[in-house]
Structure 1
């Protein structure tokens, strides 16, 4: 499921989304990872929350800029807040 209404358009929004997923705030179960990907039918980029079977639990569209510049943030995860 990809949420059409909330496109992530800044790296700060991406970090907030990742923090929310990591903290369990999305109410998702069996979260195993997060990845940036592109839709096969239209090439549109999105961030994917995946379960332990690599199945899509939740997706959010991202801008091309966030897709290109957010790869490291997705790979290492959001900064820990103290």
Structure 2
């Protein structure tokens, strides 16, 4: 479930999105992880919110810059107090 009009364009936007996920602010169930990935069809990068069975619960497209420079933020969290 990825909305084509909803693109994360900056690291600040990625941080905000990750904090929403960490705090449960989007009302998603069974969230177990977040990963950066690429679409198999067109290679377009996105951030994937995964459930306890590693299935996509929510995704947001990201720019190539966010994909390349946001890996540590996705891997280790935002490190800001909630």
The CA deviation string for residues 29-71 of structure 1, in whole angstroms up to 9 with x for no partner, is 0000000000000000000000010000000000000000000
Query: What's the counterpart of residue 71 of structure 1?
Result: 71
The answer to whether the aligner puts 1:31 opposite 2:40 as a matched pair is no
Query: Where does structure 1 differ by over 4 angstroms across 4 or more consecutive aligned residues?
Result: none
The CA deviation string for residues 4-41 of structure 1, in whole angstroms up to 9 with x for no partner, is 22100000000000000110001000000000000000
2:43 is paired with a residue whose SS is coil
What pairs with 1:1-82 in structure 2 (closer than 5 Å)? 1-81=1-81
Query: Where does the alignment leave 5 or more consecutive residues of structure 1 unmatched?
Result: none
TM-score w.r.t. the length of structure 1 is 0.96
Cα drift, residue 81 of structure 1: 2.1
TM-score w.r.t. the length of structure 2 is 0.96
